[in-house]
Amino acid sequence: MKELVILTGYSGAGKSTAAGLLEDLGFFCIDNLPPEVAYQVASLVSQSVEKLAIVVDVRSYLLGDVTAAVREIKERFKFAKIVFLTAKKDVLIQRFAHTRRIHPLSKQASSINEAIDLEIELMKDVMEIADIVIDTSHLNPHQLREKLTKLLTESVHGTAKSFVVHLVSFGFKYGIPLDADFVFDVRFFPNPFYIPELRQKDGRDPEVKNFLDGVEGVNEYLNRIEMVLKFAISRYELEGRNELTVAVGCTGGKHRSVYFAEKLAEFFRNAGYSVTLDHRDVALG
């Protein structure tokens, strides 16, 4: 076996879409194994399949210690990747209301709200050790497939031994990315939105960049962020992690956050890191 993915996450966050993508990518998918037998099954099929995906639903968390099972698999198969799909609570509630599906924990809870809270509590330990966390709150199925394909390709092929920095710019009024390891706020700098000639532009335009380049404290803040992240990366690498997701937010996600994310992307590329860059809300701000 060359590739092993453990796919888990919250109900309604897109596991079915992700599992379908993994099958399209040639993975042999096994769904809802009891935790106690997950390692044995992975070992059993390791000689006969090149790519295996184990999909872990919340119901598996009721059957045994999923965290221990996942750790056991990771110890045996060093190349295994844990993919965790998350989403904002209100988005999950809306999705269940739209599809009219019953939450898997409906028998253990008195409401959908309580069921989601219970699910979050059950899954918190596995989420903390996940290699890839994807917030699907703002993703449609096509975008989820695209993002997962990109992350898995970077994680499994070619760049597995080089550290990957994922940078996301966003607007606070649209919500903080739930998959971010670090969130930096840049709302305390002057907002180009209030300058008429800059309002319709974004942080990638030369006029906005020139404006922010001249704002006192911008370079100092960038330098401090870079220092913090370089230190964090060194510690993550000691723990065996090979990627980091950094979110930079301003009010609308169009000017300041985009500018800072672009600057950080340039810095880390020049420092030899692999970098992905996503301006999540640039079209909305």
59 is in an annotated binding site: yes
Pairwise CA distance, residues 163 & 186, whole Å: 25
Report the amino acid identity of residue 142: H
58 is in an annotated binding site: yes
181 is in an annotated binding site: no
11 is in an annotated binding site: yes
Say how many CA atoms lie within 13 Å of 44 toward its Cβ. Answer: 7
257 is in an annotated binding site: no
101 is in an annotated binding site: no
Pairwise CA distance, residues 59 & 66, whole Å: 10
214 is in an annotated binding site: no
b/e for 231-252, b at 16 or more Cβ within 10 A? eebeebeeeebbbbbbbbbbbb
Backbone angles phi, psi at 284, to 5 degrees: -105, -25
Pairwise CA distance, residues 211 & 208, whole Å: 5
9 is in an annotated binding site: yes
Cα dihedral angle (175, 247, 93, 16), rounded to 10 degrees? 150
Residue ranges of the alpha helices (H) in the chain?
A: 15-24, 35-45, 58-61, 66-76, 89-99, 112-129, 141-156, 206-213, 218-238, 256-270
Binding residues for ATP: 9-16
Binding residues for GTP: 57-60
Binding residues: 9-16, 57-60
